[in-house]
């Protein structure tokens, strides 16, 4: 059982339920909304709340790109169908965004600005009043330049505004029966590449295949960081024993070599979000 499962086998208390009602009241105050929807824990929770509050006055907008694994795209599409929300999928070529492939520390800002400008254009075509995105209060604890783009473009972040934490979102998601309540946290595949190293489609493909392999082998929360010939695997410390089982270790090593990595390393600090930011002088 993952840590997520252990932490969230609990019912929301009255204060948290009241907070959820506050969220729905806020959303009901909008004439119509477009939710930036990735299919992750936060955006799924936000889309569900928006659907409850606004019914057919909500749409989902999903970006399809090389930084977004096909697995995530399929899950996002399936969920929109399941709750009968109109979904618009925009194809985005991140490599065409000036500065993205160069992978500066402002890469996320450049990408988010480009992406949400496309969302704004679509919302206008669909006569949608407000665009929402799903960042939460915990996201303020890491370096996230994309938030600057969100603020500049006037995108609303209701979960962050109401100070929802990831843990609270998971608890409410389980209570509401959402399939993502215990889903591992995910981030753009470009975050697996060290700043200053040029990003290529080939790199993103290697990362996607490597992380899908680990998921298929039973690892839940993980990252495969791309350091040229070296794949640096981050998994929770409690899953080290599973990785070191002879058969698992052999499969991981051989498959990642077949994906183009010469060396495969296990990060002894274990999984953590934003490890590439540890080298930044902020």
Give the tens place of pLDDT for each residue, 205-239. Answer: 999 999 999 999 999 899 999 999 999 999 999 99
- Given a cut of 70, whether residue 23 has pLDDT beyond it is yes
Cα(102)–Cα(195) distance, rounded to whole angstroms?
8
- Given a cut of 90, whether residue 265 has pLDDT beyond it is yes
Active-site residue, from 4, 111, 188, 244 = 188
Q: 161, 135 in Cβ contact below 8 A?
A: no
Over the chain, what is the mean pLDDT?
93
Cα(282)–Cα(279) distance, rounded to whole angstroms?
9
User: What would the mean pLDDT of 167-191 be, rounded to a whole number?
Assistant: 95
- Given a cut of 70, whether residue 1 has pLDDT beyond it is no
Q: 148, 109 in Cβ contact below 8 A?
A: yes
- Given a cut of 90, whether residue 40 has pLDDT beyond it is yes
Tokens of 196: 């200053």
Of the listed ranges 7-11, 112-116, 268-272, the least confidently predicted one is 7-11
The separation between the first and the last C-alpha atoms of the chain, rounded to the nearest angstrom, is 36
pLDDT in tens, 82-138: 999 999 999 999 999 999 999 999 999 999 999 999 999 999 999 999 999 999 999
| Whole-number pLDDT of residue 9 | 65
Band of residue 145 on the pLDDT scale cut at 50, 70, 90: confident
Question: Is 188 a catalytic site residue?
Answer: yes
84: left (phi over 0), alpha (psi -120 to 50) or beta: left
Band of residue 281 on the pLDDT scale cut at 50, 70, 90: low
Cα(176)–Cα(279) distance, rounded to whole angstroms?
39
- Report helix, strand and coil shares of the chain as percent, to nearest 5: 50, 10, 35
Indicate the Cα dihedral angle 214, 220, 225, 226, nearest 10°. Answer: 30
Q: Give the CB-side neighbour count of residue 58, counting CA atoms within 13 A.
A: 26
Pairing of strands 33-36, 58-64: parallel
Of the listed ranges 6-10, 49-53, 113-117, 225-229, the least confidently predicted one is 6-10
| Domains detected in the chain | 3-176 (3.40.50.620), 189-279 (3.30.70)
Cα(16)–Cα(175) distance, rounded to whole angstroms?
11
Tokens of 128: 């949608």
Q: Which residues contact 241 (CB under 8 A, 6 or more apart)?
A: none
């Amino acid at each position: 059982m993952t840590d997520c499962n252990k932490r969230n086998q609990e019912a929301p208390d009255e204060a948290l339920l009241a907070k959820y009602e506050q969220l729905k009241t806020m959303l009901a105050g909008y004439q119509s909304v477009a939710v930036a929807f990735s299919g992750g824990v936060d955006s799924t929770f936000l889309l569900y709340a928006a659907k409850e509050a606004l019914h057919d006055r909500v749409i989902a907008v999903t970006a399809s790109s090389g930084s977004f694994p096909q697995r995530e795209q399929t899950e996002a599409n399936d969920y929109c169908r399941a709750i009968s929300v109109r979904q618009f999928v925009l194809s985005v070529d991140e490599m065409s965004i000036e500065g993205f492939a160069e992978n500066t520390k402002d890469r996320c800002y450049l990408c988010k600005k480009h992406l949400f400008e496309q969302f704004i254009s679509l919302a206008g075509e669909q006569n949608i009043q407000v665009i929402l995105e799903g960042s939460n209060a915990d996201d303020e604890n890491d370096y996230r330049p994309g938030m600057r783009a969100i603020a500049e473009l006037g995108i609303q972040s209701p979960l962050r505004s109401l100070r929802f934490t990831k843990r609270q979102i998971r608890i409410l998601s389980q209570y509401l029966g959402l399939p993502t309540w215990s889903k591992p946290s995910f981030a753009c595949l470009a975050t697996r590449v060290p700043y200053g190293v040029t990003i290529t489609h080939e790199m993103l493909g290697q990362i996607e295949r490597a992380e899908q392999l680990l998921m298929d082998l039973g690892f839940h929360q993980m990252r495969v960081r791309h350091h040229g010939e070296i794949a640096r695997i981050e998994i929770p410390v409690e899953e080290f024993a599973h990785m070191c089982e002879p058969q698992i270790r052999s499969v991981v090593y051989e498959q990642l070599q077949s994906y183009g990595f010469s060396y495969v390393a296990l990060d002894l600090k274990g999984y953590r979000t934003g490890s590439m930011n540890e080298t930044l002088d902020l």
